[in-house]
Amino acid sequence: MRSGIIARKLGMTRIYTEEGAAVPVTVLKIDSVHVVGHKTKDKHGYTAVQLGSGTPKVKNLTKADRGVFAKASVEPKRKLQEFRVSEGMTMPVGAEVTADHFVAGQYVDVTGTSKGKGFQGGMKRWNFSGLRATHGVSVSHRSLGSTGNRQDPGKVFKNKKMAGHLGSETVTTMNISVVRTDKERGLLLLKGSVPGSPGGWVTVRDAVKRKLPDAAPKPGAFTAAAQG
């Protein structure tokens, strides 16, 4: 199991195949993603790598945070993410992970925060059918209908599907195909859409339900930190 990667969603566009077919793609930016630390089985009980990306405001960094980045000899990062890996799949601390960590044609799972849609009714939030258009129904055509029961226990149960806040939750889209990678510009093009708004952070991992291609680099594609 390899490490995933942190990226930012730039937006969507389309590219064309040699046959002229249009393929909708989401463009992800992989910018200065460095290995900040390791978790080892002997010390922590599991094996993982911690990656960092983005540039934070210096005033938002605590003294402890600065010590972590100084120990890793990397610039402070805005976003930190830990990825569990198999033993022997760790990348050296300070290494920069590049876009060719993934290869064209492989499948990945993308996790992000979905767009917030505010307070929504039951029809939009849960796909309720609503009430009838006529035959005694007045004004409340899009209402939920009955939410409780008549007698014992005579209450609305917890977790009842009702109107409420929609979106702004962690969503994972599985089995997205990698169309193209651009190491020089740090771009990753994925077929179709991924969760989140443009500018939002996402994490990209090897698909758990698909076989990893033999061409995928192991433990990953990275540029080692300069010595001294």
Q: Comparing C-alpha atoms, which of 125, 108, 107 is closest to residue 116? A: 125
Range in 80-94, 179-193, 213-227 the model is least confident about: 213-227
Region of 21 please: left (phi>0), alpha (psi -120 to 50) or beta: beta
Contact 35, 95 (CB under 8 A): yes
> Is 85 found in the same domain as 27?
yes
In a domain, 149, yes or no: no
> Could you tell me the two tokens for 167?
């979106």
**DSSP state, residue 115:** P
Check pLDDT > 90 for residue 87: no
Query: Per-residue confidence at 185, pLDDT binned at 50, 70, 90?
Result: very high
> Is 206 found in the same domain as 108?
yes
Which pLDDT value is given to residue 31?
86
Query: Per-residue confidence at 95, pLDDT binned at 50, 70, 90?
Result: confident
Q: Rounded mean pLDDT of 190-199?
A: 94
Which pLDDT value is given to residue 93?
87
> Is 77 found in the same domain as 37?
yes
CATH code, 105: 2.40.30.10
> Is 33 found in the same domain as 10?
yes
Which pLDDT value is given to residue 219?
87
> Is 129 found in the same domain as 175?
no
> Is 216 found in the same domain as 126?
no
> Is 136 found in the same domain as 54?
no
> Is 97 found in the same domain as 190?
yes
> Is 128 found in the same domain as 31?
no
Higher-confidence residue: 25 or 41? 25
Which pLDDT value is given to residue 196?
92
Q: Rounded mean pLDDT of 10-31?
A: 93
> Is 45 found in the same domain as 21?
yes
In a domain, 173, yes or no: yes
Which pLDDT value is given to residue 60?
85
Residues paired with residue 173 on neighbouring β-strands, in sequence order: 110
* SS (HEC) of 6-30: EEEEEEEEEEECCCCCEEEEEEEEC
In a domain, 228, yes or no: no
> Is 127 found in the same domain as 25?
no
The mean predicted confidence, pLDDT, of the chain is 90
| C-alpha–C-alpha distance, residues 210 and 214, integer Å | 12
Q: State the total domains in the chain.
A: 2
> Is 125 found in the same domain as 89?
no
Domain span holding position 127:
118-144+154-164
